[in-house]
Amino acid sequence: MPRDRITFIASDTADAQGALRRLRHRYGEAGSNADVIVALGGDGLMLACLHKVMTGERAENPLPIYGMNQGTLGFLMNPYAEDDLLVRLAVAETSALHPLRMRATGRDGKISEALAINEVSLFRETHQAAKLRIFVDGRMRLESLTCDGLLLATPAGSTAYNLSAHGPILPLNAGVLALTPISAFRPRRWRGALLQHEAVVRVEVLEPGKRPVSAVADNAEVRSIAEVEITEDREVTLKLLFDPGGALGERILTEQFAP
């Protein structure tokens, strides 16, 4: 597939906006006729761009995204350079991602759905710890977890909040998801679980009136939930482009050996 018709997006920083102007002047702007998106910013911009293509007019066949770092960390981005962009795009390696689909039921019975690229998280809303009951594929696996929260992370998201919560780093193509507690109080020794990517995870909120809980799919929050169901949506495939040797799977592997 050709990658020479580019549409550019950029974060609001001065550096990113300056890069946007220079690159559009040099390579043009294909707009709706583009066959690739070049994102200029950091990981926050990349996640926003991924969410936009998941829900846009071309959601059934979303455009691949090539990021160039104009932010801080840039774990999902390539190094910034203005020269030879068309060559870099032509030889770029593709990393395919599948998001999680969250289906949250509120205490009022209202159902809300959202997609998450990194993780779906549950958080206590007050000073009271959350009490959660966990089901995997219809079978109860943990009758009661007292904690600050719980998250289910994709491999792409396993190096983000999941890692900060002491969850495992997952190889990109391992076919597993990480179920990780956040500040577990009871049972103290439960450190989470690795689940097959086909798993259906359902979490019930115990004592929701006394211990309200919110559910968050990346940055989409639903407050005061009664339960949430989470599955991987294999019908949605997102494509990230990386320079040869720097694909997302390699970056995740490198993180496992970071000092």
Residue 55 sits in a domain of what CATH number? 3.40.50.10330
Q: Is the pLDDT of residue 60 over 80?
A: no
Q: How confident is the model at residue 16, as a pLDDT?
A: 96
1 inside domain: no
Domain span at residue 30 reads: 6-98+236-255
Q: Is the pLDDT of residue 61 over 80?
A: no
Q: Is the pLDDT of residue 184 over 70?
A: yes
Same domain membership, residue 109 and residue 158: yes
Same domain membership, residue 104 and residue 228: yes
Annotation: binding site: 43-44, 118-119, 148, 156, 159-164
- For 221-229, what is the mean pLDDT? 98
Q: Is the pLDDT of residue 59 over 70?
A: no
Q: Is the pLDDT of residue 112 over 90?
A: yes
The pTM score is: 0.90
Q: How confident is the model at residue 13, as a pLDDT?
A: 95
Same domain membership, residue 151 and residue 134: yes
Q: How confident is the model at residue 94, as a pLDDT?
A: 93
Q: How confident is the model at residue 101, as a pLDDT?
A: 97
Annotation: binding site for NAD(+): 43-44, 118-119, 148, 156, 159-164
Q: How confident is the model at residue 24, as a pLDDT?
A: 97
What is the tally of structural domains in the chain?
A: 2
Q: Is the pLDDT of residue 73 over 80?
A: no
Q: How confident is the model at residue 54, as a pLDDT?
A: 86
Same domain membership, residue 174 and residue 128: yes
Same domain membership, residue 220 and residue 108: yes
Same domain membership, residue 89 and residue 162: no
Residues annotated as part of the active site:
43
Q: Report residue 155: phi and psi, to 5°.
A: -55, -40
